[in-house]
Amino acid sequence: MTTTRDYEALIILKAAGTEQEIAKHAAQLEDQVKKLGGGIERSQSMGRRKLAFRIARQTEGHYYLLRFRAPTEQVGELERLFRLNESIVRFIILSAEEAAVPAAVAVRSAAPVQGASAPTRS
């Protein structure tokens, strides 16, 4: 029995090219999910943004959010296909549960433990 889960992928595409080319690349991403037995729940272009730091000689990227349902055993293959895609600068795929964790909770869990001494400078 195959188990399917909800996932969320944030993908940064190379910003070079026209809006039609970027839309074509986004459609190819959706097709890859569908070919692996998944279904698209929502896809959203988040526009062109400046990257925090240069990645593969890119200073800007086109951000694309993809929410989908897929068999758990196919997510590794999807990651492999995304790594091979030359139009993708960076990506991250999270399960819906991981993506739903509020930022405040993540920051709180990374905070130092009460009573722990701070490092001292000499």
In a domain, 117, yes or no: no
Find the mean pLDDT for residues 61-74.
Answer: 92
Question: What is the number of domains present in the chain?
Answer: 1
Model-level pTM?
A: 0.75
In a domain, 92, yes or no: yes
- Per-residue pLDDT at 1: 61
In a domain, 116, yes or no: no
Q: Give the C-alpha distances (Å, rounded to integers) separating 100 from 8, 36, 105, 106.
A: 10, 24, 11, 11
> Tokens 């910003």, residue?
15
Residue 16 — pLDDT band, cuts 50, 70, 90? confident
Q: How far is the C-alpha of 84 from the C-alpha of 43, rounded, in Å?
A: 21
